Amino acid sequence: MATLGVKLPITKNDIYGYTMIYNIPDLIRQNLKMLVLTNPGERVMIPDFGVGIQTYLFENFSNEVYIDIENALRKQASKYLPVVSIQKVIFDDSAPDSNKLSIAIHYTIPAINIKDLLEFTI
């Protein structure tokens, strides 16, 4: 079976040497996660790539901060992942003093008619 890329974080696999991605939805989910987690200036030759969600980690979470994050996410996705259509972004603010942020990104891949969800906590 053909592979599309290496699954991150990199782990060993007996068949290819590393765990691989075999389908488009998994590849797009990984690319979206990398877009959100990458800080602007961190990617070589593309200095404006990335949402930089870690930079918001110690902010006083409020609707304004959530709006800033969502706007940055939508702008970056439209520029670097145009195959993705962000439907809804949900922030979990149940523990505002814990210095962590949970985010759920509901998105679609219109070209192949797939709806998906990316959830993680930083």
Q: Among all chains, which residue has been given the structure tokens 């979206």?
A: 32
DSSP string across 8-56: SS--EETTTEE-EE-SHHHHHHHHHHHHHHPPTT-STT-TT----GGGG
Q: Where along the chain do its domains lie?
A: 24-121
Query: Which CATH code for domain 24-121?
Result: 3.10.450.40
Kindly report, residue by residue over 6-21, the tens digit of the pLDDT. 999 899 988 778 899 9
Structure token pair of residue 42: 């961190």
Type of residue numbered 75: K
**Residue 116 β-bridge partners:** 107
Q: Which residues of the chain have pLDDT under 50?
A: none
- pTM of whole model > 0.85? yes
